[in-house]
Structures are given as C-alpha cells and as structure tokens.
Amino acid sequence: MTSSALIVFDLDGTLVDTAPDLVAALNFVLEREGLPLVPVASARSMIGAGARKLIERGLELRDRSMSVRDIDRLTDDFIAYYRDHIADKSRPFEGLHASLDTLEARGFSFAVCTNKLEGLSRLLLDRLDMTSRFAAICGADTFGVSKPDPTILRQTIARAGGDPARAIMVGDSGPDVGVARRAGIPVVGVTFGYTETPIADLNPDIVIGHMADLPQAVASLTTRFTSS
C-alpha cells in the first residue's frame, strides 16, 4: 500500500465519544436560561452539526424560541465553556488505537474532516494525545464549508497529501455519508455514533459496530483503489 492511501475520519461520534462534554456545555447554557437539563442519552442524536445547531436543537427540545442574537450569545458561551471542559469525559472509542496501529502498519495515513471548529478539534485531539496521528485536521471553518459539501473532504484529502482515488471516509451520520458520496469516495459507517437516522439506512458501503472491525472493512474497500 502506498503512502497516499488515506482514511479520513469524522471526529464526534466516530473517533471520540464526545457526547458527555458536549451535552454538559449545552446544559450549562440551558440551565443559565432557566431551562431543564437534557440527559446525555437523549441528546446524543442531536450532536454532529456544530455547536449552534446543537443549541438550536436543545432549545427546540425545551419548546423555547430565541432570536438570532440570543442564539449567537449562547453559542459563544457554549464554545467558551466547552473549550475549558473539552476532554473532561470525552474518550476515544474502544478499539480505535489498535485499529489505527494496524492500518498504519499497512501503509495508511489518517486525516480528520469534521463540522467541529478546527481549533476545538485540535484542542480535543491534543488533550487526548492523538494529534500526531493525523496528517490533516480540518473543521467547518478551515475552508469555509461544512459537510456534506464535498469541498471540505476534497480539501482535507489534499492537505493530508492524499489522493481521492485512494481515500476512504469513516463517519457516523448523514453528512459523512453525503460528503463521501458527493466526493466520489467509499464510506464506512459506524453504528455507535450520533445520528437520528440509523447509519445502515443511510447506505454507506460498509457498516461496522466496533472500531476493531475497521481494518477488515478498509481492506474490503481498497479493492476499489486505482493504481497510482
């Protein structure tokens, strides 16, 4: 396998179980507004479209409508709180490191393509001592577009020094499957992430239920790679 073989990962709900800290930040702003807290289990499917969307969904869940200016304020406060507590309880999913070791030994490199802000993504991976694993870490503000716009994935692959013809996307939700389809690369869906629609219903090329299954899934998809 050549060095251009690249696996691009979503972050929240794919690489790292960030729900506890994201929901804690959501509850921080909701509680300050006098609204009931949201249980982590109930909010997991609300994660994945960025901080602002998570706040909007939290407000909808509590039947509260706010102005754009107020949501801007809550978003700023959410991000400030989350930055200070970004890795209190967030942890890599079980089996991740062993699978990355296996894939790296096979010649793959790795990148992150997320709708999280790049700075927060880097901070999280720094705190978890994972940053050095990735040739590129790109967020919604890196190129000014978010998934499923294929530009963010194509530019992430380019920044990582990869080749779109030898790349695979791994994610947990509709934007991940959508961005891969629009960019023309195969996609692995994980069942343990954050999505309202079951990942299998989104028709990724392969569905896995544990990170330990990733190397075999990747092996089956590399048969689609063209010669470089």
Q: What value does the mean pLDDT of the chain take? A: 93
CA-nearest of 85, 158, 146 to 117 is 146
Higher pLDDT, 110 or 117: 110
From the candidates 10, 17, 21, 149, give the one annotated as an active-site residue.
Answer: 10
Confidence class for position 43, pLDDT limits 50, 70, 90: confident
Lowest-confidence range among 60-64, 93-97, 126-130, 165-169? 60-64
Confidence class for position 44, pLDDT limits 50, 70, 90: confident
pLDDT tens for each residue of 141-189: 999 999 999 999 999 999 999 999 999 999 999 999 999 999 999 999 9
Domains within the chain, CATH numbers bracketed: 6-17+90-224 (3.40.50.1000), 19-84 (1.10.150.240)
Query: How confident is the model over 82-104, as a mean pLDDT?
Result: 97
Rg value, the chain, Cα: 17
Confidence class for position 61, pLDDT limits 50, 70, 90: confident
Q: Which pLDDT score is estimated for 137? A: 98
pLDDT tens for each residue of 77-87: 999 999 999 99
Query: What residues contact residue 178 under an 8 Å CB cut-off, 6+ apart?
Result: 147, 148
Element (H, E) at 211: none
Query: How confident is the model over 11-25, as a mean pLDDT?
Result: 96
Rounded CA separation 179/169 (Å): 9
Q: Which pLDDT score is estimated for 226? A: 56
pTM of the model: 0.92
Q: Which pLDDT score is estimated for 2? A: 47
Percent of the chain, pLDDT > 90? 84
Q: Is 84 a catalytic residue?
A: no
Q: Please list the helix, strand and coil fractions of the chain in percent, rounded to the nearest 5, in that order.
A: 50, 15, 40
Structure tokens at 188: 């692995």
179 and 164 in contact (C-beta within 8 Å)? no
